[in-house]
């Protein structure tokens, strides 16, 4: 598995955990093409909380401009991956390997 695949899997798993915690969504039912508002029934307050939790969990900051085109789980995963600082990517994969082993 490549670094980018590991990172994608880790970010996706972490985001599913955030959605489970905030929306009560079963992680096994969350698809990358699921619309955060229509399919997962998030409202605007939920969206703010999701962003705040992701920023804290991944140690990053997402701007309103970056978030404008985010509608699906996959959109948010892609934005997180793009926004992660390079050292944060390495740490996320390291933590993933440590927890798996």
Nearest to 36 by CA among 55, 9, 18: 18
Rounded distance between C-alpha atoms, residue 26 and residue 94, angstroms? 26
Q: What angle do CA 31, 81, 68 make, to 5 degrees?
A: 75
Rounded distance between C-alpha atoms, residue 57 and residue 42, angstroms? 19
For 100, the token pair is 């798996």
Is 33 designated active site? no
The residue annotated as part of the active site, out of 33, 38, 43, 46, is 43
For 69, the token pair is 């085109």
| Residues noted as catalytic | 43
């Amino acid at each position: 598995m490549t670094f980018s695949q590991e990172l994608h899997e880790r970010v996706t798993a972490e985001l599913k955990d955030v959605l489970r915690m905030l929306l009560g969504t079963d992680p096994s039912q969350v698809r990358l093409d699921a619309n955060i508002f229509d399919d997962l029934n998030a409202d605007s307050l939920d969206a703010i909380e999701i962003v705040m939790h992701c920023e804290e969990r991944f140690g990053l900051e997402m701007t309103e401009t970056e978030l404008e085109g985010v509608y699906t789980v996959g959109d948010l995963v892609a934005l997180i991956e793009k926004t992660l600082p390079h050292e944060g990517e390495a740490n996320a994969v390291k933590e993933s390997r440590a927890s798996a082993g």
